[in-house]
Amino acid sequence: MDPLEGRFVLHGHINEAGSIVEGALALDTVNKVFVDAMGPFFSRPRPYLSGYHGPLVYRFIIDRAGDVETCDVIVDRVIGPYDTSSEWDEFVASLISALKALKFPPAHGSTTVIQPILFGGPLQ
């Protein structure tokens, strides 16, 4: 066996448990702010998203003042029925902007949030 033909595999599982929160803010506090603020964002009509399916996962860091300090996509395995990557890219950018605008309660330290968003229904 030639080691140059080998591969390295990272294996993990995505589940539908929701947010993963580490740090000063409690899970319930983060979820309430997220759901209250993002509900209107996701209720806007976007017909081009109807055929999309898969997980999109963000990691954002909330600073002590309650502001979102950083926001990054860490998994984007969403697939669509057509080649509409520009629409998808615009949607992802608008979602990052919406997440960066979230305002959380002040806390004694920072908080890291891993937030999965599933498109097209639950994973099977």
Cβ pair 29, 42 in contact under 8 A: no
- How many Cα neighbours within 13 Å face the side chain of 117? 22
Domains located in the chain, CATH noted: 18-119 (3.30.2420)
Q: Residue 52: how many CB atoms within 10 A of its CB?
A: 19
**pLDDT of 123 strictly over 60:** no
**pLDDT of 13 strictly over 70:** no
CA 24 to chain centre: 20
**% pLDDT > 90, the chain:** 50
> pLDDT at position 112, please?
97
**pLDDT of 11 strictly over 90:** no
Among 47-51, 53-57, 64-68, top mean pLDDT goes to 64-68
SS3 33: helix
Reported pTM = 0.80
